[in-house]
Amino acid sequence: MVNLFKRMRKLKTILNVRVGTGAAILPSAASATKEFPAITRLHLTYARKMYGGHQGARHFWRNCLPRLKYHNPGIQMTVKQTEEQEGPAALTIYFAGRASNAASLTAAAVEDKHAPAPESTEKTAAVDLKNLDYKEIWNKVKMMTGAQEVPTTPEEEAELQKFEQMRQQSEKDRVRIATMRQAKKDQERMLQEARGEIEKLKQL
Amino acid sequence: MSSYSSRVPSVARSLLSPCRSPLRQGPMAPLLSSFQQVRGAKSNPQAQDKKTKEKSKKVKKASREYKQRDLKDMDQFSLCDAMRYIRAFEVGREPTASKYEIHIRLKSLKDGPVIRNMLRFPHSVQTESRICVVCPAGSKHEKEARAAGAVLVGEQEVFDNVKKGIIEFDRLICHPDSLEALNRAGLGRVLGPRGLMPSVKTGTVVEDVASRVEMLRGGTVYRERDAVIRLPIGQLAFSPEQLRDNLRATIEQIRKDAAGLNDRINKEIYEVVLSSTNGPGFSLNGEFKSDDSPDAASLSGL
């Protein structure tokens, strides 16, 4: 098994699942208000490559969806990656009962045939994600659903800062080690060449 | 530190050194011992001789076992918390492809016997595994194996297919009557690296082919490699209770295996890590849930 310290270091990255863009709690059945009804499911569809503005949608899946899933473990989230670059890049939000006003205002008429059909008690609102940055997508989603962002605690803040410092230090160290290795290699090469010359002299 | 050790008589120092537990080999230990050695070399050459002997003995001993680090620095998680993280990492992945995995680290000798066995989970992980049986064509074993659900049964046809690189099965079982033919066919080179080559040791050369096929269809084979046993333990849709049942069954089985190995060999479970196809590994602390973990119902399903 991998060295314990390496594993520990790697495991610290789970902090990125707790904090960052998309770390928010969506309204559930318990916390639903009149303005923002509960969310039951999310579905994301996008094409595999970035041509045609599919990049933001993929980044949304990479960056925001794990955080959303962590803070809302009960909400089902599905992702469909298609091969159709001309096809839709859309996020379908399933509301319990009725869609929120903000959602019905911003909902676009995108045809997403990969999204599962809503049940009789669900209302859907689809967002067109083409040519949008993942942060823009997140802002839209937040506005439509009324998600409450989870504030970062001071400890998490400190830890983030520590990792940033470690990252900067590791860049410096990488340069330092690279020069050391290069110097050693140069030395060896020079010795090799010198030995080669002696051999040549011997042969003459 | 140095002034202290120089003042203590050398006899007392050699008395003190065994107090350090040989299990705790932090990064400081080798540093310290070499330092003390240098001091000893100047003051008392006889003591130094003794110490080097002691040290070389210790090194030899340590190298026979796999290194055990102290787990107290490691973040450990309850099952529900680990599942919550893993489900977040696996979001949007193909739900049938992603699986929970378990890695069980053992306390074990490097050159000792290894655990290899198979087990049936209370909740099946794989839906179906395809099994191939090698037995003399037209024998009653062939009929039995087919009845038990083997996909491919035969002798020469199987060998030909394997040689061509067509391997459409996950397990290979052999009847003792066909073992010689199998060995003559020279398939070890193809099957060996895939772990498919039948052998008596793994329990894949058996008289009673049919019952073995039955057993293998729902079972998972595992073996210890470098003191770690890795095996898939659940589908991503499993609830924490289902996963806990599977985990318990696995650990019990491994304890039994370890106990049944040899009287002198002492194998213990040292760490249990829950991971998944795309997620990081979470060291488990043995609890089912912690205070701030979500309710179990929200951790199941896809």
Most confident of A31-35, A60-64, A113-117: A60-64
**Domain boundaries of chain A, sorted by first residue:** 19-149, 153-204
Give the whole-angstrom CA distance, residue B57 versus residue B133: 51
How large is the average pLDDT for residues A7-14? 85
User: ipTM of the assembly?
Assistant: 0.85
Judged on CB neighbours under 10 Å (0-12, 13-18, 19+), A26 is buried
Number of other residues whose CB lies within 10 A of the CB of residue A39: 28
Pair A102, A68: CB distance under 8 Å: no
Residues of A whose CB is below 8 A from B276: none
What residue type is B106 in one-letter code? L
Instruction: Give the residue, B112 or A43, on which the prediction is more confident.
Output: A43
Give the whole-angstrom CA distance, residue B275 versus residue B295: 20
Residue B33 has what pLDDT? 44
What residue type is B232 in one-letter code? P
Residue B14 has what pLDDT? 47
Are the beta carbons of A17 and B69 separated by less than 8 Å? no
Residues of A whose CB is below 8 A from B226: 1
Q: Domains in chain B, please, with CATH?
A: 2-64 (no CATH), 66-110+227-302 (3.30.190.20), 127-218 (3.40.50.790)
Number of other residues whose CB lies within 10 A of the CB of residue B94: 12
Are the beta carbons of B299 and A73 separated by less than 8 Å? yes
Residue A167 has what pLDDT? 92
Residues 6+ apart with CB under 8 A from B207: B175, B176
Are the beta carbons of A69 and B73 separated by less than 8 Å? no
Of B84, B93, B228, the CB nearest to A70: B84
Residue of A nearest to B80 (CA): A73
For chain A, give the percent of residues with pLDDT over 70. 100
Are the beta carbons of A17 and B282 separated by less than 8 Å? no
In the block, tokens 């912690």 appear at B290
Pair B54, B48: CB distance under 8 Å: no
Of A10, A61, A74, the CB nearest to B298: A74
Are the beta carbons of A66 and B89 separated by less than 8 Å? yes
Q: What is the DSSP string of chain A?
A: ---HHHHHHHHGGGHHHHSSTT-EEPP-TTT--SSSPPEEEEEEEEESSSTTTTHHHHHIIIIIHHHHHHH-TTSEEEEEEES-TTS--EEEEEEESS--HHHHHH------TTSPPP-TTEEEEEEE-TT--HHHHHHHHHHHHT-EEPPPPHHHHHHHHHHHHHHHHHHHHHHHHHHHHHHHHHHHHHHHHHHHHHHHHHH-
Give the whole-angstrom CA distance, residue B83 versus residue B256: 27
Residues of B whose CB is below 8 A from A78: 92, 302
Are the beta carbons of A7 and B301 separated by less than 8 Å? no
Pair B188, B172: CB distance under 8 Å: no
Local structure of B204: helix, strand or coil: coil
Residue A200, pLDDT > 90, answer: no
Local structure of B105: helix, strand or coil: strand
In the block, tokens 């290069």 appear at A182
Are the beta carbons of A70 and B85 separated by less than 8 Å? yes
B302 touches chain A (CB under 8 A): yes
Q: What is the pLDDT of residues A102-133, one digit of tens each?
A: 777 777 777 777 788 888 888 888 888 888 89
Judged on CB neighbours under 10 Å (0-12, 13-18, 19+), A65 is buried
Domain A19-149 has CATH 3.60.70.12: no
Residues of B whose CB is below 8 A from A7: 74, 281, 283
Which helix (H) or strand (E) segment holds residue B212: the answer is helix B209-218
A-B contacts (CB, under 8 Å) = 62
In the block, tokens 């009847």 appear at B175
Of A11, A68, A69, the CB nearest to B280: A11
Are the beta carbons of B89 and A17 separated by less than 8 Å? yes
Residues of B whose CB is below 8 A from A8: 73-75
pTM of the model: 0.70
Q: Cα Rg for chain B, rounded, in angstroms?
A: 26
Of B75, B88, B227, the CB nearest to A70: B88
> In B36-181, where do the E strands start and end?
76-77, 99-107, 116-120, 131-134, 152-154, 171-174
Q: Tell which residue, B275, B232, B223, has the closest CA to residue B254.
A: B223
Per-residue pLDDT 10s for chain B (302 aa) are 444 444 544 444 444 444 455 454 444 444 444 444 444 444 454 545 555 555 555 555 566 888 887 778 788 889 888 999 999 999 888 877 788 899 999 888 888 888 888 788 887 776 556 677 777 776 766 777 666 666 677 777 777 777 776 666 666 777 777 767 777 766 677 777 666 777 766 666 766 766 676 666 667 778 888 889 998 888 888 888 888 998 999 999 888 888 887 777 788 888 899 999 888 889 988 888 888 777 777 787 77
C-alpha distances (whole Å) from B85 to each of B68, B77, B94 are 26, 10, 17
Residue B110 phi, psi (nearest 5): -70, -35
Residues of B whose CB is below 8 A from A1: 103, 105, 226-228, 273
Of B74, B88, B282, the CB nearest to A69: B88
C-alpha distances (whole Å) from A170 to each of A68, A178, B105, B145 are 30, 12, 30, 59
Structure tokens, B137: 């064509």
Residues of B whose CB is below 8 A from A63: none
Residue A137 phi, psi (nearest 5): -60, -45
Q: What is the pLDDT of residues A86-104, one digit of tens each?
A: 888 888 888 887 777 777 7
In the predicted model, what is the mean pLDDT of chain A?
87
Pair B185, B134: CB distance under 8 Å: no
Residues of chain B numbered 65-94 and touching chain A (CB < 8 Å): 69, 71, 73-75, 84-85, 87-89, 91-93
Q: Spell B39-51 as b/e; 16+ CB within 10 A means b.
A: bbeeebeebbeeb
Distance from CA of A60 to the nearest CA of B (A): 11
What residue type is B159 in one-letter code? F
